[in-house]
Amino acid sequence: MKINNYGVNAVNPYKNQPVKSDFANKSVANKADQLEISSAAKDLQGIVSYADERAERVQALKAQIQEGNYKVDAKQVASDLLKYYRP
């Protein structure tokens, strides 16, 4: 059995779109891409510089823990928890 497209017009909506003028193309060509970095991203870029200081701090804390000299300040922990959970 052979079925043809009888009575159905082949519709291509892309052929019916109007052609853009040269003026519209020129205005698009004058625009340039821009990149803007937010202040939050700029702040995050500065974190890399603290890597050495952080590594030294971690080593000092590890040494205190191994020697048994490290003590937790319970009041400081409690106040930090309150600051975190109560904006």
pLDDT in tens, 51-86: 788 899 999 999 999 999 999 999 999 999 999 999
The torsion of the CA quartet 16, 19, 20, 22, rounded to 10 degrees, works out to: 180
Mean pLDDT of the chain: 79
Q: What pTM, to 2 d.p., does this model score?
A: 0.37
- How high is the pLDDT of residue 11? 65
d(CA 2, CA 4): 7
